[in-house]
Structure 1
Amino acid sequence: MTTPATLPEWLALLEARHAETVINMGLDRVRAVKERLQLAFTCPVIMVAGTNGKGSTCAMLESVLLRAGYRAGLYIKPHFLDFNERARVNGELASDAMLVDAFDAVEAVRGDTSLTYFEFTTLAILHLLSKANLDVAILEVGLGGRLDAVNVVDADVSIVTSVDIDHVDYLGGTREQIGFEKAGIFRPGKAAICSDPVPPQSLVDHANAIGADLWLMGRDFNYSGDKQQWNYGGRSMRRNALAYPSLRGANQLLNASAALAALEVLRIELPVGAQDVRTGLVTVELPGRFQVLPGRPTVILDVAHNPHAAAALNQNLGNMGYHPYTFAVFGSMHDKDIDGVIKAIGGSIDHWCLATLPSPRAASGSELAAKVQATVPDPHEKTVNIFDTPAQAFANAMSRAGENDRIVVFGSFLTVAGVMAARKSTLH
């Protein structure tokens, strides 16, 4: 069989191959193909897992390390508009040609080993980064940790950001079960950083059982600050008078502290100056994480899709100052704790524009409407409307919102991606 010649053809083939099994737990198949690829990193590897905050932590690490002059590679997911967003080399998106070469390399050694879309693309991007002559590789873990395809690589520093309830069908329904899964990225004798202020005991126990070098928030590193600036304190390093990260939101100092703890661990291999840290944190960008768009009405994009993230989004909305009305454009996967998300943010929303997402796993707009009406206090004082797509829901919110109002687009990545794509097409 001839392999596809373009990136869109490759992605279509991978989606078609695995229309049925979206997630297939276990690393044996991935490890077998990894060995045939002879995939290995010759630079330090930082791996980041967590329920929320992992994308922000990866982005901060990348920004600071690029400022310091290092050639950094980043694997981050999912993507909003272009698959290329998942792989960055030295701050630039991987080209179609680089990705096609990487897909070809995996296909050439795969043999009859079956790989899911996620496993195949992960191996391809890891291969691409391993060949990119990097000084450091930053790898975001997808679901869980222990059984995630990224975990076939041994990290020099592993970070677990927050541990909360999500992906219950695969990871279990308690923080202790999920904490054990996340701790699966820790390695014996290597730094294992956890920035969750209340880490599950299962995570601590696993780190100790395997002999990882566990760094806990509040014990091994912490932060302090006032309105103007903040300070990081680690085991042997302090960084004072830091500007707040440009990523807005309540938990960003936890994420920034985890990033600085990782840099403290790697200070011999990757020394980073104070100014590089300051500038890197101030200039970091990450789409869809409490991203406030320019213009009026105020539009906020946030991929909050579990109660923990929705509570943080609600807190951030509360810190924004007065807006007469808040419109929500919301869509969610069926298997999420939708009631918990609505409960966490419902008090801040006046008008709901609910969208059915383009996925077989999506909850329908009418399902979401029933949940909003059952969960939100005083539903008769709020409006609830249903739309076939996020773009239609957003267009409706824009047509009704006054210039001093705000529209918060949140839920699944597909909700935010749908609105991003619609805005892009109207701008061009």
Structure 2
Amino acid sequence: MLKRLRNKILVLNMLLTTVVVAIAFAFIYLVMDSQIQAENKRKLDAITEGKISFAAQETNTDGSEDAVAADTVQQRLPADYALSFHVKLDPYGKLQNIDSLIDLPEASYHLAAETAWKHKDGHGPISINGRLWQYAVVPATSTQVINENGMQTIIAAQDGSYQISFLDVTGSMETLRTLAITFVFVILAVLAAIFLISLMFANRSIRPVSEAWEKQRQFVADASHELKTPLSIINANYDVLVSNQNETIISQIKWLEYMKAGTDRMTELIHSLLSLARLESETAEINKVPFNISSKVSDIIESMAAALHEKKITLTLSIEPGIVINSDMDRVTQVFTILYDNAIKYTEFSGQIGVSLTQTSRLITCTVCNSGDGIAPRDLTRIFDRFYRIDQARTGDTGGHGLGLSIAKACIDQLGGQLTASSADNEMTTFSFKLSK
């Protein structure tokens, strides 16, 4: 299921990315194409108009210096000159004249004229002799200069013929082609890189979901296991009672007490689970009030003095008096009770427990440490997980369900504090929480 979720995220991300990248590169290509086409049209218009203006000068054949000047000007080429030539056709499309400085076979000129005449309304380009040519078909204009009484008169007239100007656009079309190929390879490279990045982020994005799913699965298994034990006790003792129906309640009281112990254990587990669920809820209420945490910690320690005496534990206290904190008193009390109770449970006979409570200008720090077997590094990272116990074999000795530290962690998180643990095998185990004042 999680793999399908990851694949859906990956496919959706790749589709959106592909569309965005394709649109961006297509826009750039269209802009470049438009600019190149506009530039080619400008050059074609320029050579077409230039040819017509030269034609006006070439008709002045009276031997004056103007004719020579015209011949000279016609040989000058613009700085951005591109290969071009002109042909003149009669009204029926028959080739009449070729004006070209390019060394092309005459058949190529005939082919160019024939192709352009068939597609007079086309925009080209057409392929001639391995090159691409853009052309423009315009009516040819014949002009005549008449000198009369020192006055020059220019007469222009259309005789029905056509002039076709051809411009070599092979270079610009090759530029567009190269640009398109480059864009394709760039898009493929970009998509490949984005795919790898998306795969990495998709795996990372489903990691919390995977962890939550695994925790939920483990929680169901652990809760089922914890509930199974008291239910088994209740069922076993029920069978004993049913098999001795003629006995009095007094004679069967121990079986009833076993059943009561099982129901109490199950009730305690359910209450712990409900408490943890409420603490982890986003809508959980926090009732912050100022209270003396020094007095509260001292009261809890005093109330559990009998347990210390029973195991002959040495207690060392370092509690700064009169510390007042603005927080949820019930939750802070619950946290310290859990930590102190755990310290008593896991301290060996005649062991040691230390409790300290200090303050700074902004924080209070409460520390509970105890001697004992300690906690291995591999277990230290999981001790706040639900139902996690370091030594399953000691469950019956210490009691509990492995929910205490999870509840303590949830309380401190809700209060905006920090709960940490440090230990090692056969060394002191220390739990410490910090809260803002």
Give the TM-score normalised by the residue count of structure 1.
0.18
Give the TM-score normalised by the residue count of structure 2.
0.18
Richer in helix (by share)? 2
- Structure whose CA Rg is larger: 2
